[in-house]
Amino acid sequence: MHNAECYYKDPVRIRTLHGPENRGSANCVTDTLTAKQLKNLLNSFEDGDLRDIVGRARRMSDLAAALAAALPADQAAGVVAANVRDDGELVVIAASPAWASRLRYETAALLEAARAAGIAASSCRIRVSRP
């Protein structure tokens, strides 16, 4: 099992630890990626696992932005993320329990915004982000 820590500077240092028992030990392997290499890795359009992961993350980000744009300005900040499950359930992640409570009053607007974005959402669930 690999754990990775990334430091987002140019060049990007990626330190891979081979198991939790090796933290801080000599078994730690350090690689360096330039910003261009990291961009190429994340934007690869070849058949690869990252392409699918990055594409899904972009779609989720676009959906969250569309939902936030459909809400009144004072409530848009409460939307952290959004996703649609295979059964058509729209899941909106709220920044806190207080935001979740407010967003529950806006489920009709959230569903309408998802449908306007081309998402066939049939129900809406509001969840709270974990800290």
Enumerate helices (H) and strands (E) in the chain, giving the number of each.
5, 6
Range(s) of the domain holding residue 26: 2-42
pLDDT of residue 54: 77
Residue that wins the pLDDT comparison between 109 and 56? 109
pLDDT of residue 38: 67
The radius of gyration of the chain's CA atoms, rounded to the nearest angstrom, is 19
Whether 20 and 63 share a structural domain: no
Whether 70 and 97 share a structural domain: yes
Task: Give a yes or no: residue 49 inside a domain.
Answer: no
Query: Band of the pLDDT at 11, cuts 50, 70, 90?
Result: very low
pLDDT of residue 29: 47
Whether 24 and 61 share a structural domain: no
Residue that wins the pLDDT comparison between 18 and 82? 82
Percent of the chain past pLDDT 70, that is, above it, reads 64
Residue 52 and residue 48: Cα distance in Å, rounded? 7
pLDDT in tens, 56-80: 888 899 999 999 999 998 888 899 9
Task: Give a yes or no: residue 65 inside a domain.
Answer: yes
Whether 27 and 81 share a structural domain: no
Whether 110 and 67 share a structural domain: yes
Task: Give a yes or no: residue 50 inside a domain.
Answer: no
Q: How many Cβ atoms sit within 10 Å of the Cβ of residue 106?
A: 21
- Nearest CA to 26 out of 35, 17, 39, 13 is that of 17
pLDDT in tens, 19-53: 555 445 454 444 566 777 766 666 655 556 677 77
Whether 37 and 76 share a structural domain: no
* Beta carbons of 103 and 94 less than 8 angstroms apart: yes
Average pLDDT, the chain: 77
Cα torsion through 11, 30, 44, 40, rounded to 10? 20
Whether 89 and 117 share a structural domain: yes
Task: Give a yes or no: residue 124 inside a domain.
Answer: yes
Domain total in the chain = 2
Whether 64 and 123 share a structural domain: yes
Q: Given a cut of 60, is residue 118 above it in pLDDT?
A: yes
Whether 60 and 124 share a structural domain: yes
